[in-house]
Amino acid sequence: MQFHALSLAQAGGDVDLVGLEGTAVHPAVASEPRITQHRLADGSFASRAGGGVRRFVVLSAFRVIAQAWPLYRKLSRLPQPDVILVQNPPAMPTLAVAWLVSRRRGARLIIDWHNLSHTIAAVRLGETHRAVRALARSERRWARRADGHLTVSKALAEWLLREYGARAMVLYDRPLRSFDQPDAAKARGLWAKLAAQGVLPDAHVPLVVCPTSWTPDEDFDLLLEALERAERRLAGGPRLSLVLTGRGALRETFEARLSKRRLSAITVRTVWLEPEDYPVLIGMADLGLCLHQSSSGLDLPMKLADFRGPGVPVAAYDYAPVLSEVLTNGNEGLTFKDPGQLANLLVALANGAAEPGGPVATSRQWIDAHPAVRWEDQWRDVAAALFHP
């Protein structure tokens, strides 16, 4: 959503960016004078991640109710909009409120589909739970009433047309121009900074970076098993450093489970990075790691685009055929389907896979020969017409 705001502003529009309080926006968005940020309080609902199904459903319902009125009031008081663009997920209360305000104020409603809210809920509640079925009906209702749609994959666009009768444009996540190979001085400075914090070792070793939102649609069980297998093969030998970035509900659980593993050859750290440091760390990586496993099998992880920008190969969990829309094994990166295959990639990297002839080096050569499509160019070619019909 931030990238849409940036592109609209750069195209000459005045943009009001509305979101929940918390994470800072991308520096390019923060410095754009045509973008005005509006933050809404999220309340205290973090505890809904724990406890049973009933507790989760009740607290989620209270969260929807608590957000609906402030969101409606904020959208109603903004300068007259031509278009209201809303991202899904989350479907509730955003789709209903955005539709109501768009009709009341004579604006067009466009939904940017990154996944399906009801399939995410089904991960926790099961596909047959009545809350999941109700959420699916809600998504269908607002999809049919919206004026336009964007999706992150062809597979999701085809599903929306088949199931909801909604025709969507496919707009893949692509890297901003700012996601490029970092300046050598910045890279050295960030390594020294993270080394002083105990996140990275003082000496340079092969670096794996795993951006994560710490949600159930990422397979941390697979990662822990792969780390144990790789450790047994690397003990006393080459070293490797793995850094997981981000914040989320499952981070503390992962850290607790990680603390019970005895890892010496592989250093694993979790860290939160400021927006200006994140693209530098991405560009410093020898290998990216994507644990996304998708609740719907139709979405694509944005982190693949982050690594594509600076030309870093990514090891991605091969969760569904949709992944082939943006990643071919051996080209943009390498795929794995189980802990053993991921362990093989980690061991190969520690043993010099980044050297000529190794799988990581071969992937990097392909990436160097095929420059990434940038977000700015794709947005201009695909999405601009939807906002300016």
pLDDT tens profile 103-114: 999 999 999 999
- Is pLDDT above 90 for 17? yes
pLDDT at 50: 57
pLDDT at 353 over 80: no
**DSSP β-bridge partners for residue 245:** 211, 271
Per-residue tokens: 266:
């592989």
**Is the separation of the CB atoms in 251 and 220 below 8 Å?**
no
In the chain, the percentage of residues whose pLDDT exceeds 90 is: 71
The tokens for 316 are 């991605």
Distance CA 116, CA 294 (A): 10
Identify the structural domains of the chain with CATH numbers, from first to last: 2-174+375-387 (3.40.50.2000), 184-369 (3.40.50.2000)
Whether the upstream peptide bond of residue 211 has omega within 30° of 0, thus cis, is no
Sign of CA dihedral 373, 374, 376, 382: positive
Give me the mean pLDDT over the 334-340 stretch: 96
What's the rounded Cα separation, in Å, for the pair 128 and 122? Answer: 8
Alpha-carbon distance of 44 to 66, in angstroms, equals 10
pLDDT at 335: 96
Mean pLDDT score of the chain? 90
From 54-58, 196-200, 310-314, the region with the lowest mean pLDDT = 54-58
**For residue 199, pLDDT beyond 80:** yes
Q: Say whether the peptide bond before residue 93 is cis (omega within 30 degrees of 0).
A: yes
Q: Any residues with CB less than 8 A from the CB of 307 and at least 6 apart, and which?
A: 282, 285, 288, 313, 314, 333
Report the pLDDT averaged over residues 286-304: 93
For 55-103, write each residue's pLDDT tens digit. Answer: 877 877 888 888 889 999 999 999 999 999 999 998 889 999 999 999 9
Question: In the predicted model, is pLDDT for residue 48 greater than 70?
Answer: no
Q: Which band of pLDDT confidence, cut at 50, 70 and 90, is reported for residue 268?
A: very high
Lowest mean pLDDT among 2-6, 50-54, 182-186, 361-365: 50-54
> Are 43 and 64 spatial neighbours (Cβ–Cβ below 8 Å)?
no
Token pair for residue 326?
Answer: 């943006």
In tens, the pLDDT along 151-189 reads: 999 999 999 999 999 999 999 999 988 888 899 999 999
What confidence category does residue 1 fall into, taking pLDDT thresholds of 50, 70 and 90? confident
pLDDT of residue 248: 85
How many angstroms separate the CA atoms of 232 and 50, rounded? 33
pLDDT tens digits along 340-351:
999 999 999 998
Residue 302 CB partners (closer than 8 Å, separation 6+): 114, 152, 173
Q: Order of strands across the sheet with 333-336?
A: 266-271, 240-245, 207-211, 287-290, 314-317, 333-336
Residue 43 has a pLDDT of 64
Q: What is the pLDDT of residue 383?
A: 93
CA-based radius of gyration for the chain: 21
Instruction: Give the per-residue pLDDT at 376.
Output: 93
**pLDDT of 44 strictly over 60:** no
Percent over 70 (pLDDT), the chain: 96
Cα 233 from Cα 274, distance rounded (Å): 34
| Nearest one of 7, 111, 1 to 379, comparing CA atoms | 7
Band (389; pLDDT cuts 50, 70, 90): low
pLDDT at 178: 82
Reply yes or no on whether the pLDDT at 259 is more than 70.
yes
